[in-house]
Amino acid sequence: MSTTQSSDTGRASPSVALRITPLALLGGRHASRVLERNILVYRRSWIFIVSGFFEPLFYLLSIGVGLSHLVGPIPVDGRLVAYTAFVAPGLLASSAMNGAMLDSTFQVFMKLKIAKTYDAMLATPLGVGDVALGELSWCVLRGGLYSGAFLCIMSALGYVVSPWAALCWPIAVLICLAFASVGMAGTTFMRTWQDFDIVSLAFIPLFLFSATFYPLTVFPGWLQAIVRCTPLYQGVVLERAADLGIFTWSLLLHIAYLAAMTVGGVVVTRRRLGRLLLP
């Protein structure tokens, strides 16, 4: 009788542990397996990785070849900056956002709702935290690749102004973290593919009203206040400050904004995945 009870207890203990263990304690140890899986999957589909990189690149090239000849220098913090040097850091931030959001929204939804990939993962020793951290790591890796390549092209075209531009890449990684975590959190609330129309609707104003193509001062006062609260604007300001070598204490507020996005997104993602995936 005792043998049967211990056997039953042994079979039940993994599911019981998943129910009672805080999600914060589940992730981290095996998250690299999820990251490794994504790398292996995309190894033969590399075209899908580089596709999202071209949109900001085409913007940069078109502006550098054409529009920059029509627009004069832009005043930034009391100094005049060439229009291409003004726009390029903003497009770098946009490249980081694109790389992070592509996988944290569309691909996560596919694995969560359609392919049921995460259900299969949880049949292994992986936990919900491993899945969340592994997917987040992949999103940041993809966005970091976009950003690094974009920064190299900026340098090759002569759009890098200051040696401090070396900080642009770690800033881009922070942008990737912020948007990937929030993107994953939002995706857990989506029910159908039609919900992604909301994502597309949000992307366009985020991109156009992020002070990437023109200074914030061209907006009316009420719109300036709204733009200052948008997430991509925080990244644009940080990237531009690093590229131009202009640093002020206010930049810490932009860093704190993106860090808060990251923490909030990770917390919501873990809780939502736990509710959706655990029995």
Q: How many domains does the chain have?
A: 1
pTM of this prediction?
A: 0.83
Give the residue numbers spanning the domain of 83.
Answer: 25-277
Residue 6 inside a domain? The answer is no
pLDDT for residue 173: 94
* Domain annotation covers residue 7: no
Tens of each residue's pLDDT in the chain, 279 residues: 444 443 333 433 333 333 433 334 344 567 778 888 887 877 766 666 666 667 777 877 777 667 777 777 888 877 888 888 889 999 999 888 888 888 888 888 988 888 888 888 888 888 888 888 888 988 898 888 888 888 888 888 888 888 899 999 999 999 999 999 999 999 999 888 888 888 778 888 888 888 888 888 888 889 999 999 999 999 999 999 999 988 889 999 999 999 999 999 999 998 898 888 886
Answer yes or no: is 2 within a domain: no
**Residue 60 forms part of a structural domain:** yes
Give me the helices (H) in the chain, please: 2-20, 31-43, 46-51, 54-65, 83-102, 108-109, 117-121, 128-156, 168-187, 196-208, 221-228, 231-244, 251-277
Q: What is the pLDDT of residue 259?
A: 95
Structural tokens at position 52: 């999202």
pLDDT at 184: 92
Q: Is residue 10 part of a domain?
A: no
